[in-house]
């Protein structure tokens, strides 16, 4: 974990994961994660990120937590050591900007259901604690694994279109007036150490 205290936001804990708000102290580890080929392939369309880009993203993340109570959390596997294994959260994308569910993991933990567990925790937090009534996510059309995660969260296909030249699909789930049908993954919410 980074040397700086985590960002101002809640710690989410599930059966297998700890999610802590990402902060500037996570910059080196997050940059290494973002620049892994299997992560940047769809997330950054193959581009690598500089230190300055990651630092800017983390500053925006801390402001998003401060202003809206959501942002990006770093994912660590409970009992699996201190290494960052991924991220999940809500982030603004597209034009006009829309707050969307986002997640990504390093390849060695793919296929274990961790993306679904983390995304469910974030969606549950957004609905139950922040009052969101709609969860939206998009992914590159070839990123079939992300489509499956969205479907496991009860999201349904909305549309497919070119977005900034990329073949993109959108999924959404409206939850206004009704609790989510998926069971929350035994999410525990605590305050981040600051």
In a domain, 3, yes or no: no
In a domain, 2, yes or no: no
List, for residues 144-194, the tens digit of each pLDDT value.
Answer: 999 999 999 989 999 999 887 888 999 999 887 555 555 565 777 776 544
Instruction: Count up the domains in the chain and report the number.
Output: 1
Residue 99: CATH number of its domain: 3.40.630.30
Number of other CB atoms surrounding residue 119 within 10 Å: 24
- The full length of the chain comes to 194
Mean pLDDT of 92-111: 89
What is the spatial distance between Cα 129 and Cα 138, in angstroms, rounded to a whole number?
A: 23
Q: Which helix (H) or strand (E) holds 39?
A: helix 37-43
In a domain, 17, yes or no: yes
List, for residues 18-52, the tens digit of each pLDDT value.
Answer: 999 999 999 999 999 888 888 877 777 668 888 99
Domain that holds residue 155: 10-191
Ordered strands of the 166-174 beta sheet: 134-140, 166-174, 156-163
In a domain, 4, yes or no: no
In a domain, 170, yes or no: yes
* pTM, rounded to two decimals: 0.86
What is the spatial distance between Cα 62 and Cα 194, in angstroms, rounded to a whole number?
A: 13
In a domain, 154, yes or no: yes
In a domain, 163, yes or no: yes
In a domain, 150, yes or no: yes
Closest CA to 18 of 130, 128, 117: 117
């Amino acid at each position: 974990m980074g040397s700086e205290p985590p960002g101002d936001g809640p710690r989410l804990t599930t059966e297998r994961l700890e999610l802590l708000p990402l902060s500037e102290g996570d910059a080196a580890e997050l940059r290494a994660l973002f620049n892994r080929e299997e992560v940047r392939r769809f997330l950054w369309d193959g581009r690598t990120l500089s230190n300055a880009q990651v630092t800017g993203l983390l500053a925006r993340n801390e402001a998003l937590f401060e202003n809206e109570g959501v942002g990006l959390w770093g994912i660590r596997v409970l009992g699996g050591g201190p290494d960052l294994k991924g991220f999940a959260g809500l982030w603004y994308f597209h034009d006009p900007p829309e707050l969307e569910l986002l997640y990504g993991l390093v390849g060695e933990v793919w296929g274990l259901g961790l993306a679904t567990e983390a995304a469910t925790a974030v969606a549950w937090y957004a609905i139950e604690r922040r009052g969101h009534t709609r969860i939206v996510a998009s992914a590159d059309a070839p990123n079939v694994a992300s489509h499956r995660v969205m479907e496991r969260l009860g999201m349904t296909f909305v549309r497919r279109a070119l977005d900034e030249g990329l073949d993109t699909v959108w999924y959404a789930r409206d939850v206004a007036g009704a609790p989510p049908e998926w069971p929350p993954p035994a999410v525990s919410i605590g305050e981040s150490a600051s």
